[in-house]
Homo-oligomer: A and B are copies of this chain.
Amino acid sequence: MTVSPYLQLEQEFRRLHAFRGALSLLRWDAAVMMPRGSADVRGEQIAALETEHHALLTTPKVARLLERAEAGASQLDDWPLANLREMRRQRDHAIATPPTLIARLAKATARAEVFWVEARKANDFKLFAPHLQEVVHLVRDRAALLGQARGLAPYDALVEVFTPGISTADIDMIFKALSRKLPGLIHAAIELQAQHAPAPLAGKFSIAKQRQLAVEVLRAIGFPFDRGRLDESEHPFTEGVPGDMRVTTRFDANDLFSGLLGAVHETGHAMYDLGLPQQWRDQPVGHDRGLALEESQSLLFEMNLCRSRSFARYLRPLLEKFLPVEGAEWNEDNLYRQLIRVRRGLIRMDADELTYPVHIMLRYELERKILDGTLPVAELPEAWHALVDQRLGLRATNDTEGCLQDIHWAVGHFGYFPSYALGAVIAGQLNEALRAAHPTLDEELAVGKFDGVLDWLRDNVHGIGARLPVKDLIKEATGKPLTAAPYLRYLESKYLESY
């Protein structure tokens, strides 16, 4: 019995899927369970599995099978055809970067990360600069090679690694629309919130009780605890594969919302991954449709659905069930106003919904200039401070609160930042379509019912997997091409009209 080239490829990618799952567990464990002294050993294990994954993906056998399968592609249905396209993309990406460059990048980023930590401690960018410079050199080489392989400009090729189907032109168009509207919106929202300032929600909140509360909320959302876990880690994240999804959050005894909303955010990622087409779960077409869409799902749950009046209504009695929340300030309206509090700040990770895209856009601007050489690495700190001053009217006194605050560049993740803001924009557009299709949504959220939301997301987003390019997916889901307009309408309504 001969097996078709396409089906042989499925077999190869099934094995790669198992490797990705194992790698995901190695990373989860490193962040959640691993003893501190074991980092070197774990690093070796991850490097060995990644190297092997790369080797398996770039064998001549896979290349031959891809060519033969593509020659017979006219006989394939929609899903296998899309699967073949995604296989090709993965393999082209893998083969474009030679093993020597991968090894140099791995070493340079490992070193840069160490010195990034040191530079933050010492608050001295100069400790980090030469290592960042080395990373930038290597990322430039990689971007050129990826671009050649995929017929894309270098920066577009980097973006394609994280968010395939979105071009620099798309990002520029969307960020232009945001830049036009957001400053005025932020200003007006802060003024309005100052006039109706919410009362503080002070107290010490038991971590164990916060955890119980989060578990109850996650259960309401539909997170399957028999095929997933909620744990705690330094920064919230999601790892795993459908069948074993693991989310984390970080509880703060002084802040009731950060742990809960962190868990909800990650559960948005998890529900996306869990809703991916089961039949294709171990194939490239069964993967998520890139980081921007991933982020749209976490933000849809955190921002659009749960930082809302209806969710505040649902939360009110739940809080009472788990925590000592006595006093007039624990009313629904005040909870809501606290959930959507806007404050200009220096730190991206602490930013609220409204100011967050500003942090992203300035990173995008800076990383493009660093890569094309118009901004020397040595001048990054001052360029950062100047831009934060210009966009947010704030000036940090040090670089730890400036260009040293994020790990992304140290580990070579250029082209990654835009996905955060694109995610918010996509979430805004999906939210509009979801609410149009589901007029009773708010009443359901107010009693902790999420199945209507999930049904719609499964049909229109999750279940599509990687079958469609992301912009086609959004157009099919919402009936409109991707623009910033629905997102901006949503922000205006939430922060100005209905505050």
Q: A33 interface residue, CB < 8 Å from B?
A: yes
Within the assembled complex, what's the spacing in Å between the Cα atoms of A38 and B274? 13
- The docked-state distance in angstroms from the alpha carbon of A135 to that of B406 is 55
| Residue of chain B at shortest CB distance from A42 | B244
Judged by DSSP, the binding face of A is: helix
In the complex the two chains form, is B44's CB within 8 Å of A244's CB?
no
Residue of B22, B41, B241 near A241 (CB, 8 A) is B41
Q: Are B34 and A244 in contact (CB under 8 A)?
A: yes
Residues of B within 8 A of A48 (CB): 15, 18-19, 22
A21 and B33 alpha carbons, distance in the complex (Å): 15
Question: Could you say which of B15, B41, B244 contacts A243, with CB atoms under 8 Å apart?
Answer: B41
Set B35, B49, B224, B226: member contacting A22, Cβ < 8 A: B49
Contact yes or no, A25 B37, CB < 8 A: no
Could you tell me the distance in whole angstroms from the C-beta of A17 to the nearest C-beta in chain B? 8
Residues 23-38 of chain A, each 1 if its beta carbon lies under 8 Å from chain B, else 0:
0011001000111111
Question: B229 contacts A35, CB within 8 Å?
Answer: yes
Q: Is A148 an interface residue (CB 8 A)?
A: no
In the assembled complex, the CB of A376 is this many whole angstroms from the nearest CB of chain B, namely 37
Chain B residues within an 8 Å CB radius of A209? none
A64 within 8 A of B: no
CB pair B35–A18 under 8 Å, yes or no, is no
Bound form: Cα–Cα A392–B77 in Å: 67
Which of B19, B29, B40, B243 is the one whose CB lies under 8 Å from A29? B29
Residue A225 CB within 8 A of the other chain: yes
A197-B362 Cα distance, complex, nearest whole Å: 79
**Residues of chain B within 8 A of A225, CB atoms compared:** 35
- The distance in angstroms between the C-alpha atoms of A42 and B241, with both chains bound, is 10
CA of A22 to CA of B24, assembled, Å: 11
- With a cutoff of 8 Å between Cβ atoms, the chain B residues found around residue A244 in the complex are 34-35, 38, 41-42
- Say how far A48's CB is from chain B's closest CB, in angstroms: 3
Cα distance, A103 to B170, chains bound together (Å): 49
- A227 touching B29 by the CB < 8 A rule? no
Q: Using Cβ atoms and an 8 Å threshold, which residues of chain B touch A165?
A: none
- B47→A18 contact, CB < 8 A: yes
Which residues from B are CB-within-8-Å of A51? 15
A228 close to B (CB within 8 Å): yes
CB pair A37 B243 closer than 8 Å: yes
- The reply on A329 being an interface residue by CB < 8 A is no
Q: Are A227 and B45 in contact (CB under 8 A)?
A: no
Q: Using an 8 Å CB-CB cutoff, how does the interface string of A200-214 with B read, 1 for contact, 0 for none?
A: 000000000000000
The answer, yes or no, to whether A52 is at the interface (CB within 8 Å) is: yes
Q: A226 with B37: in contact, given A22-B22, A52-B52 (CB under 8 Å)? A: yes
Which residue of chain B has its CB nearest to the CB of A51?
Answer: B15
**Measured CA separation A49–B52 after assembly (Å):** 10
Name the B residues within 8 Å of A26 (CB-CB): 22, 25
> Once bound together, how far apart are the Cα atoms of A48 and B51, in whole Å?
15
The reply to whether A18 and B45 contact each other, CB–CB distance below 8 Å, is yes
> Which residues of chain B are near A224, meaning CB under 8 Å?
37
Q: Are A21 and B44 in contact (CB under 8 A)?
A: yes
Chain B contacts for A227, CB-based, 8 A: 35, 37-38
Query: Which of B25, B37, B45, B229 touches A21 (beta carbons < 8 Å)?
Result: B45
A37 to B229 alpha-carbon distance, docked (Å)? 11
* Interchain Cβ contacts under 8 Å between A and B, 10 examples: A15-B52, A18-B45, A18-B49, A21-B44, A22-B48, A35-B228, A35-B229, A36-B226, A40-B243, A41-B244
Q: Which 3 A-B pairs have the closest CB atoms?
A: A18-B48, A41-B243, A38-B244
Q: What 17 new A-B contacts, CB under 8 Å, besides A15-B52, A34-B244?
A: A15-B48, A18-B44, A18-B48, A19-B49, A21-B41, A21-B44, A21-B45, A22-B45, A25-B45, A33-B33, A35-B227, A35-B228, A37-B243, A38-B243, A41-B243, A42-B244, A44-B282
